[in-house]
Amino acid sequence: MTRSAHGDSAAFTHLVKAHSSALHGYFARRMPAVSEDLLAETWLQAFAARRTFDPARGSARGWLFGVAHNVLAQHLRRAGRTEPAPGPDVTDPWQVVDQRLDAAAMAPALRRALAELPAEERELLLLISWEQLTPSEAAAVVGIPAGTARSRLHRARGRLRDRLTLPRPAGRNLTAMGDLA
């Protein structure tokens, strides 16, 4: 980011190659119908604002997810909505996540439990679980202190844990916490 901010166009191209897949996943899990448009808008805004990147405040990845978060919020405001809620039509393209879930039994329950979380707790949890940001990076994305993010993340995980313990036919309990834990 720093090299890009100082006019090195190849450096920005490297950022696009390195982070497009993760940013696209962020949008695809929240707004699949417009994920491509949101990704393009994110890169336009990131390029325009690249000189505002401050490495002392966090990683380029965290900064880019902050831009993506703002692009999503702008899109939702224009559409008259305040938040995306994971719906039954949202699927996770990461097979490793699907493998950790007993998909047929757990996916609908997970989506319902995520939708029931307060918006900020859900966003923190998803930024950390799906987008692999650190709690500090996720806190910066949503604009709260890191300590507050950690306590809200703890609360969100507890709520999910309570909601996602399902009985199995053999009597053993099954949980879907995986990366969410």
pLDDT digits 0-9 by tens, 101-133: 455 667 788 888 899 999 999 999 999 998 999
CB-based contacts of 50: which residues, under 8 Å, 6+ apart?
Answer: 1, 4, 5, 12
**pLDDT value, residue 107:** 75
pTM summary value = 0.59
E strand or H helix at 174, and its extent? strand 173-174
Residue 92, helix vs strand vs coil: coil
Here the tokens at position 165 are 């313990």
E strand or H helix at 123, and its extent? helix 119-129
- Does residue 87 carry a pLDDT above 80? no
Position with higher pLDDT, 175 vs 31? 31
**pLDDT value, residue 117:** 92
Give dist(CA 120, CA 122) in Å, integer.
5
